[in-house]
Structure 1
Amino acid sequence: MMNDYRDSGSSERLDLQTLSAYVDGELPDAAHAAVGAELERDPESMARVGDWRAQKAALKALFGDVGNEAPSVVVLRRPHSRMHRMAVAAGWLFVGVAVGTIAGNLVPRALRSAHEPPTFARRADIAYAVYAPEVRHPVEVGAQDEAHLASWLSKRLGRSLSIPSLQEYGYTLVGGRLLPGDSGPAAQFMYESRQGARLTLYVAAIPTDETAFRLLRDGDRRTFYWVSDHFGYALSGAISEEKLRSIAVDVCSELGGRPESWSESSSDSSR
């Protein structure tokens, strides 16, 4: 009975222990299917599941697959009070701050690559890793509302944005979403091929204005990024570098950039 999966403090939502087990794939098949059906009628719990899956994807993208190693993050299940929920939220904030601090302190500046990717390129790479695999909610606004999507994100970023067409490369627009940038909002547009492969274009305002065209590698993901008129652009995908570069050149040109100023061989950074 579905009452077995309800939080004792609420008759409206699935309990956190069950949701966590559902996300981690720890429920028996019948229970997993029952919870999935219940989530269809519980938008709040569905949103929570989506957030947890995004956190897992982001951590995997940052640290890779740890296999059978002991987990470095402990998830506290079934918090019964507001204080427990606040503690869990504070724990996630601490993890985020700690990861950034440790990563920055452990790597001496002298040993860092001369072409270390800027923050916006790293954000674009992680955003692709988090949202490209998403099945139910890959975007906030779908392609059917393209005009609204362009208007909304243009207003939030403070600049008129156009959404490039990638039809000639076999990719159609899925939609887009608003994301946090380095010092303000950023936009992500997602495209998909008939085979289900996805590309994302990340756009954010940045303080510098160089014209370098560079490549960030991270596992099987590739991100070509560049800066034009104080805006950073990053095209990410898990396709060949040659094809992704060709698309990036056309996207840059369509958005008013000057790809002819790039050298034939772009610099790259690997992570």
Structure 2
Amino acid sequence: MNDDDLGHEHEGEGERKGESPPPPEGDLSMLGAFVDDELPPDDRAALQARLCADPQAAARVAAYRAQKAALQALCDGALVAGERASPDDVPQAFDAAPSVLVLRPRAPWWWRAGIAAAWVAVGAGLAVALTALVPRLAPDLAPELVAGATPEAFARRADVAYAVYSPEQRHPVEVGAADEAHLVAWLSKRLGKPLSVPSLAEYGYALVGGRLLPGNSGPAAQFMYENDAGERLTLYVGASSTERGAVRLLRDGNRRTFYWSTDRMGYALSGPQTEPKLRAIALDVCGALGGKPGQW
């Protein structure tokens, strides 16, 4: 096989796999530094938050880690072989490391195109069939599947957002409380529904500000509060496929998140407080945002 054939072979493999264009060089460098534990703590935390919402980047990080582990295992095996050999045999010990060259026969382009078209047709047929069957087989689950998320997944996004931004000192929010009117108008426009910021003054918490975040199926908003002791709470808001859902609890380490839905909007209050205290605040916030006592 000559160089031209090898080049066509690589092109054929790329077509069969349906690879997307490579990400920017800076993005690859950052992911590599993340795998090698070379990122500053703030950058690492921000990238961890991004990986939760970017399956492609998360898959690339997993591939980098697997590649790193394989290379380390190969090098360790070669070093062990070198230690067992005499000084004159060290080059031969490293040469003994296995290497495999796999040559695949190249299929004609019309064959590859036909296979690809067949898979597209099969995928389209399955999508149509599932769309028709899911509401009949599981009517209670269908709205959640259409939205692409469950209430618990919504709560976990809120918990991750709290874990990422609540420790931040210099940039905890995008828009501060001094511009509360602008903050509420901006986030209401992005979420497509009028929002309001409940007051937590009676619990000793003042509004710090808020930011725009990615949600399960669209944009989400996060409002941050802080008390005199420096403790913080966050209220995470986003669209929900559920008309009305009861207040429930998600635990993660020393963090607690109470979440619910009202009028197809999901809400999640996260904080480090004990469950009874945070639950009391969550029920108060639920009522302030239109929730009914039946949800409690």
The normalised TM-score by structure 2 is 0.54
Where do 1:218-257 residues align within 5 Å?
Answer: 218-257=252-291
Identify which of structures 1 and 2 has the higher relative contact order when contacts are C-alpha pairs closer than 8 Å and 6+ apart. Answer: 1
Partner of 1:119 in structure 2? 153
Q: Which runs of 4+ in 1 moved over 3 A?
A: 49-53, 56-59, 89-93, 95-98
Give the superposition deviation at 1:52: 3.2
CA distance in 2, matches of 1:188, 1:124: 8
Which residue does the alignment assign to 1:160? 194
Q: Give aligned-pair identity as a percent.
A: 62
Q: For residue 271 of structure 2, what is the amino acid of its counterpart? A: G
Q: 1: CA distance between counterparts of 2:265 and 2:183? A: 19
Q: Distance in 2 between matches of 1:95 and 1:242?
A: 41
1:91 is displaced (CA, Å) by: 7.5
Looking at CA atoms only, which structure, 1 or 2, has the larger radius of gyration?
A: 2
Q: Which residue of 2 aligns with 1:186?
A: 220
Q: Which amino acid aligns with 1:92?
A: A
- Can you give the 5+ residue segments of structure 2 that lack an aligned partner in the other structure? 1-28, 64-149
Specify whether residues 164 and 224 from structure 1 end up closer, same or farther in structure 2 by C-alpha distance, changes over 3 A only: same
Match for residue 199 of structure 1? 233
Aligned residues: 178
Contact 1:58–1:126 under 8 Å retained in 2: no
CA change 1:212–1:236 in 2 (3 A) is same
CA contact (8 A) 2:188 2:194 kept: yes
CA contact (8 A) 2:223 2:235 kept: yes
Name the CA shift for 1:143/1:97 in 2 (closer, same or farther; >3 Å). Answer: farther
Which residue does the alignment assign to 1:94? 59
RMSD: 3.1
Q: Given the two structures, how large is their TM-score scaled by the length of structure 1?
A: 0.59
What secondary structure sits across from 1:149 in the alignment? helix
Which consecutive unaligned segments of at least 5 residues does structure 1 have? 1-15, 27-31, 33-48, 63-88, 99-115, 264-271
Tell me whether 1:52 sits opposite 2:44 in the alignment: yes
Q: Does 2:254 match 1:262? A: no
